[in-house]
Amino acid sequence: MSSQAQNHEFQEWWNKQRGFLDKPDSTAFLTVEIRNPTSDPTVDKGHTRSARQLSWLWLLKFQQLATSLAWLTNGSVSLLRTANRRIATNKTDSPSDSSASSRRLYRIIKLFLFLVILLLCFELVAYFKGWHFSPPSVESAEAAVERVYAKWLEIRASYLAPPLQSLTNVCIILFLIQSVDRVVLMLGCFWIKFWKLRPVAAVEYDGSESVEDYPMVLVQIPMCNEREVYQQSIAACCVQDWPKERMLIQVLDDSDELDAQLLIKAEVQKWQQRGVHILYRHRLIRTGYKAGNLKSAMSCDYVKDYEFVAIFDADFQPGPDFLKKTIPHFKGKDDLALVQTRWAFVNKDENLLTRLQNINLSFHFEVEQQVNGVFINFFGFNGTAGVWRIKALEECGGWLERTTVEDMDIAVRAHLCGWKFIYLNDVKCLCELPESYEAYKKQQHRWHSGPMQLFRLCFVDTLRAKVSFGKKANLIFLFFLLRKLILPFYSFTLFCIILPLSMFLPEAELPAWVVCYIPGLMSILNILPAPRSFPFIVPYLLFENTMSVTKFNAMISGLFQLGSSYEWVVTKKLGRSSEADLVAFAERESDPLVETTNLHRSCSESGLDVLNKIETTKKTGKKKRNSLYRKELALALILLTASVRSLLSAQGIHFYFLLFQGISFLVVGLDLIGEQVS
């Protein structure tokens, strides 16, 4: 029965299938139609649309290429016009470049330029003659030119390349030592960050203390012809959250311009009327520059009543709680002489020059100052944004006028007397960076010539000092020799002299890792404290090599007591941070010490009267304009000439480095990197 039921079910299924197949249209699903793809109109339409899109794509690429070419052409034309205009104005170099040492260096660079151009012409003739691929010998040479070239190859290999290779090896060793120093400093900084090491104050001032618990503090603001920034620095010091009877502000004006004197004096009178203890001091004879100004101020009889002195340059704006964050660190530390704070820059994004300066100074404060402060309690005083114990200043001899780096001088002498320093990385003081290359170059010349003056003067005192051998070694070999002398020496010699010469003397080899890889790694380490500046890592590397000529010239001037090493030029600032911004900051961060309605005025009525009186004087003042820098332009031609020679030898890394470094020197020589004055 079961088998019959199964057969019946199978029969019904089979009948259904036969009925479906017997339908007239049932064969439609079995029919397969094969057509030629080209006969399908939809496919033709799709191919046509793709071709049209491809045409538009190529047109778009061509338009982008044309736009890029037009941009490059306009940029080149603008560059040529700017260069022509600046050459026509015939203003070359700054006063520091007019010194005898600078002129001598420029003559040497010109001679070097003539030599490399002559060698390039010689090598071009040899290249087109095929002598690069099969060098001739003196015996087989037929033509006179061929014999000369063969003799040149012998002289080059036997007499010129060996001493150049020896100098190269010395510079490479110095370069590696300096690189190791950078790595050690970075490891020290990572250690501080990992373990969260920072100075801790023994007490804190929260406002509940009596007035007598606050130490007597003297605040000094040295300035000279700085009419753009005097208001903001004076206002920032006057609104300090410190009992006014326990603080005295000295405005030390060394201005030799009458209008600047009147403006500063009017500003001081304004704050005196508001109850602030502030004095105006002006020297008739400006001897000793900033050191002489500070020395004169410290000689006042009332200074003996004060325990600490805070120093701020004219463009610095300490926060209202600056004294409350720094003075407590002296409590219970009788051997502490200095508390240094970090600089913060209000104009670090103003132009390419300020961005590159920010990279350098961020590394200096975040790494160098912090590591030295934590591990050895010594570093160079930055000249401003710091608080000194007056007793320490007096014990080590006070301010001396013997160098242009009086801040480093006083720090070294205090260190040799056994005093300790503290650096506060989390306390920042606003200031400005120089925005023009001329101002920055003058500043760097003073910063690199002064340490060499000081090294000559204090070398014997360092050896005789009653401090440990480790401190003496650190001061002589690391602080002075490695970071102040060796760095500018090898940087200029290696990348501006040896590298282009090695293109014409190929027997003296300069490895690619010295030219590119290690400098690139060091640039990455330098830029870590300012991570937002990573897009500028290549311009930073090139610009540091470009500045080596200025630093080398300054180092030689200071080391051999040449005339320009004693030149002091005030770094001009533009006053980017307005007093209105400062007042708003003061109102947010501290209790008001003066009436808010009075603070909102950018200057007093007497100041406005003075401004009206001197308006005509300012109109007839000296106009600013960009300069041409001869040494940088000559070095640009040297490096570009050497890049052509490296191209003949198919040296890829050397060619690109020389090309871009030459362009960097050209941009700086035409004064196109900083503030542009139309």
Residue (of 375, 421, 420) closest to 188 by Cα position: 375
Give the other-Cβ count within 10 Å of 472's Cβ. 15
**Residue 616 CA: distances (Å) to CA of 304, 612, 613, 622:** 43, 8, 7, 12
Residue (of 525, 355, 356, 362) closest to 428 by Cα position: 362
pTM of the shown model = 0.83
- Asked whether 321 and 589 are in contact (CB, 8 A), the reply is yes
Helix or strand run (H / E) with residue 441: helix 437-464
pLDDT of amino acid 663: 95
Helix (H, G, I), strand (E, B) or coil at 651: coil
pLDDT of amino acid 220: 98
CA distance 639 to 651: 14
Q: Identify the bridge partners of residue 424 per DSSP, sorted by sequence position.
A: 341
pLDDT of amino acid 607: 45
Per-position b or e across 592-607, b if 16+ CB within 10 A of its CB: ebbeeeebeeebbebb
67 Cβ partners below 8 Å, 6+ apart? none
CA distance 137 to 633: 38
pLDDT of amino acid 405: 94
CA distance 226 to 466: 42
pLDDT of amino acid 594: 38
* Residue 102 backbone phi and psi in degrees, to 5: -65, -40
Structure tokens at 585: 């900051």
Q: Which residues of the chain have pLDDT under 70?
A: 1-49, 87, 89-98, 563-568, 576-624, 678
CA distance 18 to 146: 102
Active-site positions read: 254, 407
Rg (Cα) of the chain, in Å, rounded? 36
CA distance 325 to 386: 11
675 Cβ partners below 8 Å, 6+ apart? 351, 353, 435, 436, 437
**3 state SS for 133-183:** CCCCCCCCCCCHHHHHHHHHHHHHHHHHHHHHHHHHHHHHHHHHHHHHHHH
pLDDT of amino acid 603: 40
pLDDT of amino acid 601: 39
Q: What is the spatial order of strands in the sheet that 247-253 belongs to?
A: 278-282, 247-253, 217-223, 308-311, 386-389, 336-345, 420-431
pLDDT of amino acid 43: 45
Helix (H, G, I), strand (E, B) or coil at 345: strand
Q: Which residue has the tokens 């070419």?
A: 69
- Asked whether 302 and 192 are in contact (CB, 8 A), the reply is no
pLDDT of amino acid 153: 92
CA within 13 Å, CB half, 503? 36
11 Cβ partners below 8 Å, 6+ apart? none
pLDDT of amino acid 26: 43
CA distance 475 to 598: 50
Structure tokens at 256: 């030799």
**Which DSSP state fits 623?**
P
509 Cβ partners below 8 Å, 6+ apart? 165, 168, 502
pLDDT of amino acid 577: 57
pLDDT of amino acid 569: 73
**Terminal Cα distance for the chain, rounded:** 113
pLDDT of amino acid 587: 45
